[in-house]
Amino acid sequence: MPTVGVKRDLLFKALGRTYTDEEFDELCFEFGLELDEITSEKEIISREQGDSKASGASDIILYKIDVPANRYDLLCLEGLVRGLQVFKNKLEAPRYRRVSPVNGEPQKLIITKETAAVRPFAVAAVLRNITFTQERYDSFIELQEKLHQNICRKRSLVAIGTHDLDTISGPFTYTAKAPGDICFRPLNQTKEYTATQLMSLYKTDSHLRHYLHIIEDKPVYPVIYDSNGIVLSMPPIINGDHSKITLKTKNVFIECTATDVTKAKIVLDMMVTMFSEYCSQPFTVEEAEVVYPDGKTCVYPTLAVSVQHCFVLCPPDSESTEKIAQLLTRMCLRSRATGVGDEIEVEIPPTRSDVIHACDIMEDAAVAYGFNNITRTTPRTYTVAHQFPLNKLTELLRQDLAAAGFTEALNFALCSQEDIADKLGKKISETKAAHISNPKTAEFQVARTTLLPGLLKTIAANRKMPLPLKLFEISDVVLQDETKDVGARNSRRFCAVYYNKSPGFEVIHGLLDRTMQLLDVKSARGEGYHIQAADDPTFFPGRCAEIFVQGKSVGRLGVLHPDVINRFELTMPCSALEMDVEPFL
């Protein structure tokens, strides 16, 4: 969930009234948002970097507001205020209009075929006769950053460039060139660099270095030129310094380059709908033409308004269709009841790209209605409950094993390769383990194939506890299995260990006997269970036996090998038992 920080006093000024913190918190809740934190720049710096760094910082009060992940229209002050004013019936939701330039000649952005190799899409638009103030300018920059971090997926899907149109002249060309052939003065630098030099320059830039990987390995880098060969930007890394916008900028050329054209259109719509408010003709946006390599021309911004006819699904209580339509209108979704049954006609503005189904409309209706105002009902769904048989057996066994004096441990399903192989005297290739490709540390290399290492590590962490230590765990391990769609399956295991000054094989053996008694399996060769000597590198030679149930091996028990004990940083003899649970279902 993105968090948007806005200056409280600016917000109140725009809302035309003040609120107490509690009142504003309540308003946010009603609107489906959450006032996450009330703070100031000074407080943030002081918390993150210490009081000394914060001394000069601003102590203007900031509201940090949590916004739902797909509500890009609420990522800046302008959008928040517009949404809240409409919600409070103080403003009618604006209709955004795409207009042709006065001279009839729209700005052109020509895409060349070279871009196909790196970043094939671009869209553009113009904000004409805009008036910036310091606050508006800051918000304009901040919105680009917020969009970059969210819908643009850290500029990988879409990158936004904004330019002072009066410093450049179209038509513009969006092409891709070898990095050595691109040379310009980037934003806030004093001299020109080639793209190759820029990539190494920004290696150490705390902000830009995160975006370099997007194009770094490509043979060509994307670049936008004006008709005089001036570089507007090298997306998705940096703009040119030449066309940078200032407080004095009157006309803004916005381009978005992308690998996902749907998202590029949304991002462009978002930029222009939010800031066209400050144009001399508010909520109008001047169109731009984008010419694709195949000659096809598209006009942007899309600013599409879709009209959806939907039926009231899951109505909150039994509100009338008219009432639902009113609620939706307050959520910036102009609606009216058509009179045909429960049908509502809803106008979805370009700011609401998140509305892709009637259910999204109904969600907004529920938000506006207030979740807490919904009458709780009990579904009449009649069902008979069943336990999952394996879990039922596990629950019964756990209770009785604790009653037998053993204490339950709970260990991680992920561990290192060493834990399940080397430390137990086995080879990793024999374990049938599932391997993780992107573990952040060795603790998460594999899914465990045995419960024993976890229990031994639990003992190692509890060496100061009085002896004997008697532990058990019943849980799943994971084994590769080609017969499954994912190539692996869980296997439920029961493992127990006895750790004391003497090995206590008889204690673990007794626990096996007790477990078999609980499982209604008699001690007998053939029909029942029996154990017989086995060789296993985990166990001390001659002190390991295999457990057979109806002639099938289900596990092993024995006295652990001293090498195993040492590798788990233990000092005392230890006997252990591990067996499958599933054969007893």
Partner 1 sequence: MADTGVVEALLRRVEKVDDGVDSLEVATSLELDHQVIVGAVKSLQAVGDVISAELRSSKHWELTDEGREIAEHGSHEARVFGSIPVEGLPQSELMKLSFGKIGFSKAMSNKWIRLDKAHEGGPRIFRTVESIEDQVREKLLLLQKGNASQLEEKEKNELKKRKLLSEVTVKTYWIMKGNSFSTTVTKQETELTAEMITNGSWKEKKFKPYNFEAMGVAPDCGHLHPLMKVRTQFRQIFLEMGFTEMPTNNFIESSFWNFDSLFQPQQHPARDQHDTFFLSDPALAHDFPQDYLERVKKVHSEGGFGSQGYKYDWKIEEAKKNILRTHTTAVSARMLYKLAQQKFTPVKYFSIDRVFRNETLDATHLAEFHQIEGVVADYGLTLGDLMGVLHQFFTKLGLKKWVEVGNSGIFRPEMLLPMGLPEDVSVIAWGLSLERPTMIKYGINNIRELVGHKVNLQMVYDKCGWTDFTFRM
Range 473-502, binding partner 1 (CB under 8 A) = 476, 478, 480, 484-490, 492
Nearest in space to 519 (alpha carbons), one of 580, 450, 455, 577: 580
Residues 241-280, interacting with partner 1 (CB under 8 A): 260, 262
Residue 217 identity (one-letter amino acid): D
Q: Which is nearer to partner 1, 380 or 522 (CB)?
A: 380
Picking from 38, 4, 3, 45, the residue whose alpha carbon sits closest to that of residue 19 is: 38
Q: Considering only residues 141, 356, 396, 524, which one is a binding residue for partner 1 as defined by CB under 8 A?
A: 356
Phi, psi of 381 (to 5 degrees): -55, 110
- CB 239 to partner 1: min, Å: 24
Question: Residue from 132, 406, 498, 539 that binds partner 1 (CB under 8 A)?
Answer: 406
Selected from 188, 379, 520, 585, the binder of partner 1 by CB under 8 A is 379
- Cβ(9)–Cβ(82) under 8 Å? no
Is there binding between residue 240 and partner 1 (CB under 8 A)?
A: no
Q: Which stretch binds partner 1 (CB under 8 A): 105-113, 195-203, 239-247, 392-400?
A: 392-400
Strands of 261-374, DSSP E: 284-286, 288-291, 297-300, 306-311, 334-337, 343-348
- Residues of this chain, 527-556, that bind partner 1 according to CB under 8 A: none
Q: From the CB of 406, what's the least distance to partner 1, in Å?
A: 4
In DSSP terms, 285 is beta-bridged to: 98
In this structure, what token pair is assigned to residue 327? Answer: 């609620």
Q: How far apart are CA 156 and CA 260, in angstroms?
A: 9
Q: Which residues, 6+ apart, have CB-to-CB distance to 529 below 8 Å?
A: 516, 521, 522, 523, 547, 548, 549, 550
Q: Work out which of 457, 493, 556, 561 binds partner 1, going by CB under 8 A.
A: 457
Nearer to partner 1, 396 or 524 (CB): 396
- Among 223, 447, 495, 507, the residue binding partner 1 under the rule CB under 8 A is 447
The alpha carbon of 64 is separated from its chain's Cα centroid by a whole number of angstroms, namely 20
Which listed range, 10-18, 140-148, 216-224, 382-390, lies at the site for partner 1 (CB under 8 A)?
Answer: 382-390
Residue 407 touches partner 1, criterion: CB under 8 A: yes
Give me the least distance between CB of 475 and partner 1, in Å please.
Answer: 9
Q: Are 232 and 239 in contact (CB under 8 A)?
A: yes
Please report how close the Cβ of residue 558 comes to partner 1 at its closest, in angstroms: 22
344 CB-near residues (< 8 Å, 6+ apart): 309, 310, 311, 312, 321, 324, 325, 328, 335, 336, 337, 338, 361
Judged by CB under 8 A, the chain residues 142 through 181 that form the site for partner 1 are 153, 157
Specify burial of residue 483 (Cβ count, 10 A radius: 0-12, 13-18, 19+).
Answer: exposed
Q: Which of residues 294-323 bind partner 1 (CB under 8 A)?
A: 313-317
Shortest distance in whole angstroms from residue 71 CB to partner 1: 16
Counting contacts by CB under 8 A, is residue 84 touching partner 1? no
Chosen residue from 14, 390, 519, 534 binding partner 1 by CB under 8 A: 390
- Rule CB under 8 A: choose which of 35, 61, 404, 572 binds partner 1: 404
